[in-house]
Amino acid sequence: MFEIQRQGHAAVLEFDHGKANEMGSEQLRSFEALPEQLGDARALISFSRRRSRRGTPIFIAGANVTERVGWSRDQVAGHVRWQRATLARVRRMPLFHIAVVNGVALGWGTEYLICCDYRIASKDATFGLPETGLGILPGAGGTSELWSLIGVPQALRLGMTGERISADEALRIGLIQEVVEDVDAGLARAHELASAVARKSPTAVAAFKQGLLDAVGRSAEDRTEVEAQAYEHCLDSGQAAIGRENFSAIRAGDEVPWGPRIPWSR
């Protein structure tokens, strides 16, 4: 469903479907297959060049609500649970996921950012959660997880008012991390970050991400133990030894034979 291209160690996912990159059942099935499609990619870059007939740039304009016409209550509830679970799995992929947002990112488009590790937006990007004005609420993480990125007051503001915000305001509240001139500048920056990740141990990078996410919400004692286990995985997998043996090459910025990613399970 999605067009995914490999560019070096980065996988690039371009949204270009439907009327406005809306997310529905077909797209969710593609997301379920995403980890297998990415293989040994060190980074994933999500972006869109889509424009409306009037020329408005679009990242993701929301969920595909038209496909739900005639659905029962249980069908809708099950579908939204599927959305939530699918994005949660994408969030846990053992690579660096960068979103480059150009244009409209409403509802699902804003919620999608929760499953990304780093978010870059063009100056034309806009964000918002219109769901409560439709008699529902953000159900793909916007209610349960968005607060962890921007804080409770800002999450309540977006979800309860439906207010649209600019890229500069999204940067101010922490929804995104950088604002750039346009989508091409965003992609250039994303590839710069992806190249930096690709020079690191894929095992250590994946263990760092898993350890960080696993530590969220735990006690200080549990957080310390999670970090210890993640660190020891780097020792046990041999990555620390490779790092020591190739210290001069690492300092010089040369390639290091890290080998394939070695999964860590707690």
What is the DSSP code string of 94-121? Answer: SSEEEEEE-SEEETHHHHHGGG-SEEEE
Coil, helix or strand for 130?
coil
Closest CA to 143 of 101, 81, 56: 81
Dihedral pair phi/psi, residue 36, rounded to 5°: -70, -35
Q: Which two tokens stand for residue 184?
A: 């091409």
How far is residue 109's CA from residue 174's CA, in Å, rounded to a whole number? Answer: 16
In order of 72, 109, 133, 174, 240, the CA distances from 168 in angstroms are 40, 17, 24, 10, 40
How far is residue 178's CA from residue 264's CA, in Å, rounded to a whole number? Answer: 31
Q: Reply yes or no on whether 14 is catalytic.
A: no
Q: Reply yes or no on whether 111 is catalytic.
A: yes
Q: What is the dihedral of CA 223, 226, 111, 172, to 10 degrees?
A: 50
Q: Which residue of the set 14, 32, 131, 181 is catalytic? A: 131
Q: Which residue of the set 22, 111, 192, 225 is catalytic? A: 111
Task: State the angle between helix axes of 73-91 and 25-38 in degrees (0 to 180), rounded to the nearest 10.
Answer: 20
**Residues with a known catalytic role:** 111, 131
